Every structure is written in structure tokens, then in C-alpha cells.
Amino acid sequence: MSEPIIDLRSDTVTRPTPAMLEAMFRAPVGDDVYEEDPTVRELEATAAAQFGLEAGLFCPSGTMTNQIAIKAQTEPLAEVICEQTAHVYLWEVGGIAFHSGASTALLPGDRGRISAAQVEAAIRPVHNVHYPDTRLVCLENTSNRGGGSCYSLESIQQIAEVTRRHSLSLHLDGARVYNALVATGQSAQEYGEYFDSISVCLSKGLGAPVGSVLLGSKALIQKSKRIRKVMGGGMRQAGYIAAAGLYALQNNVARLADDHRRAQQLSTVLQNQPYVAEVLPVETNLVIFRLANEMPPKAFLEHLEEQGIRASSFGPQMIRFVTHLDIDDAMLTRVEAALASVPVAAVSA
């Protein structure tokens, strides 16, 4: 097939553009374990300044930034509170137990979002011999499993009020926090006031090939740097990849609004298909929908694959589409045509 593959599986599949590659090629570099890489330092300082936090730490993945933040803010016999479908719990290989020796209190959220009242009710009595000590609350914004849902600033504020009153730390898994900021118009500076640590991914919607940054106070980042080293995440001339992240922060944030518009458009088309039972509300770039029971997911995905379109299975009868930097309006037209031509035979099979 001469037409390009349309990959809606994830926003991690983007390839660097020629302009991003050019920025990488030109990056001044040094040994970052010696803290001598100017491009890594610039990326860390730029991201930290955006959120009004003191310092940043460039890491290979969002899993690493999350797990470092959890380890730095807990100890064995501690407990972490998060939503039951949180990435830190569900999709990081049980890393909370493995790296931190901490247990996890899971809360059922509203499309991935938890409330201040739920958090407060889950906090353990202090130093009770039977219980772990609650130390940390993790929020995820946007929520991946929740279909790209966003927290209101009010809920974040209320949760931060609870964590402060109980002397707990508050971490944000902000793999897609720029999507949340663009969609809601909230300010990154305010996030810096409420969260003790924030993990941002550069390799999702921002389109960089690799990398995440952990943000926090100088003391937290100092501690985190040793944890990164023991996990094997100290990198040398990492400026070449940090340059891609820096380019992404400077050029690819505002355009996330295009991804959100295209996701809305897909949602509208899906709602009109007889073989779609339900589409979760679309707030950002994730579109999660449930196929009618008569429509086997395998047949649906095969039909798309035949048209050069890839999507992810996301649970029983559930499918996920993700819009990103490498999806344009012409591709969207092809997806709409493919959705309109799902064979009736497959529906009744």
C-alpha cells in the first residue's frame, strides 16, 4: 500500500521531524553524570521554570520518573494512595512494591480521577502497629485509563489541602499534563504550588523520541539523582536526546489543541456507528469506546488493519484511538471512511 500507515495505537509512536532532528544534531553535550551536559541542564531548568518548581531531572522514561518520585517520598512499610487504574500501579510492573517496598491503597475514581474526600478517608491512623504509614498520594492528569479526562484545578487544590494537613507528599503523573493544560487553560505555575513532584513525558504527545523529566524541590531532585543512578538511569551525553525534548517544549505544546479537535471529530463519527455501544467523553487526545456485543473486536481491528489503520484493544469490547503529531486531517478522512465501511457481516457474525 502506498498510503502511509495510520497509527492510532498510542501517542508514543511519533517520529522526530526534520526540525527536531536538526536540533538534536546541533546540541552541545557533555557528561551528564558529571553534571556537565548543557542541553540536559537547559531542558531540566526550562521544564522546572514552567511549573514554578526549583529543579528537574531528565530520565529515560516516565516509568522511571514516577518510580523515582515514589521511592524518594516513601520508605518501606509506607503506603501510597492512588486511583485503581493508575499507571503507577497498573502498568509499571508492580514497581511500587519492588522499588519502594511500599503498599498501595487503591481508590475507585471517576474516569481515573479521585476526590479529596476519598483521599482523606483512605489515610491510615498515624503509627498504628497494624498499618502501613500513609506517605504519598499520586494523581494522574490526564488519566490514561479514564480516556484522557482532566482534573479541575479546584479538585487538585482540595486534594493538596488534605495532603498538607496530613503531612503527605503529592505527586503528579503528568505523562500527558500538557494535554490537560492546553485543554483546560489551567496554568502550569499553579500545579507547581500544589504538587511536591511532577513527572512530565516528552515522548508522548510532545513528539520527542525518548525521555521524561521529574520536577520538584532542589532537595527532592538531589535525592532523586542517586535513585536514578541506582536504577541505572544515569546517562552520559544525553544532550542529544534532551535537545529533542527541549525542541518539543518550545514547539509542540500549543498544537496539542489540534490533536484534541481530531479526537472530538473521531468521537462524533464513532457515536454514529451502529456497531459502537458507547464512547467515553473525549476531553483531550484519547478516544476510548466500547463495541456492541455483536461486533467482535478482532474483526473490527482486522478491518482497520486492511485499510492501513492501527488501533489498540483496551479491555473486553473496548478499543482506544489516540491522536498525535503524526496524524493529520487527510488521515482522519481515511479513518472516517474505514469506520463507515465496517462490514455488516462482521457486525452480525
Ligand X SMILES: *Cc1c(COP(=O)(O)O)cnc(C)c1O
Interaction of residue 173 with ligand X, rule CB under 6 A: yes
- CB 173 → ligand X: shortest distance, Å? 5
What is the rounded end-to-end Cα distance, in angstroms, of the chain?
Answer: 28
* 39 to 68: interface string for ligand X, x by CB under 6 A: ----------------------xxx--x--
**102/342 with CB nearer ligand X:** 102
**132/148 with CB nearer ligand X:** 148
Work out the burial of residue 340: count CB atoms within 10 Å of its CB; fewer than 13 is exposed, 13-18 middle, 19 or more buried: exposed
- CB 243 → ligand X: shortest distance, Å? 18
A 10 A CB-CB count for 107 gives 17
**55/82 with CB nearer ligand X:** 82
**104/269 with CB nearer ligand X:** 104
d(CA 224, CA 308): 43
Helices 239-251 and 38-50: crossing angle in degrees, nearest 10, is 30
d(CA 15, CA 25): 15
Number of residues that bind ligand X (CB under 6 A): 13
**9/303 with CB nearer ligand X:** 9
- Which residue from 32, 44, 83, 140 is in contact with ligand X, where contact means CB under 6 A? 140
d(CA 161, CA 116): 8
Radius of gyration of the chain (CA): 21
**78/200 with CB nearer ligand X:** 200
Interaction of residue 141 with ligand X, rule CB under 6 A: no
Footprint (CB under 6 A) of ligand X, residues 77-106: 87
Residue of closest CB approach to ligand X: 62
Interaction of residue 212 with ligand X, rule CB under 6 A: yes
- Exposure string for 55-94, b = 16+ CB within 10 A, e = fewer: bbbbbbbbbbbbbbbbbbbbeeebbbbbbebbbbbeebee
Q: Which residues of the chain form contacts with ligand X (CB under 6 A)? A: 61-63, 66, 87, 140, 144, 173, 175, 201, 203-204, 212
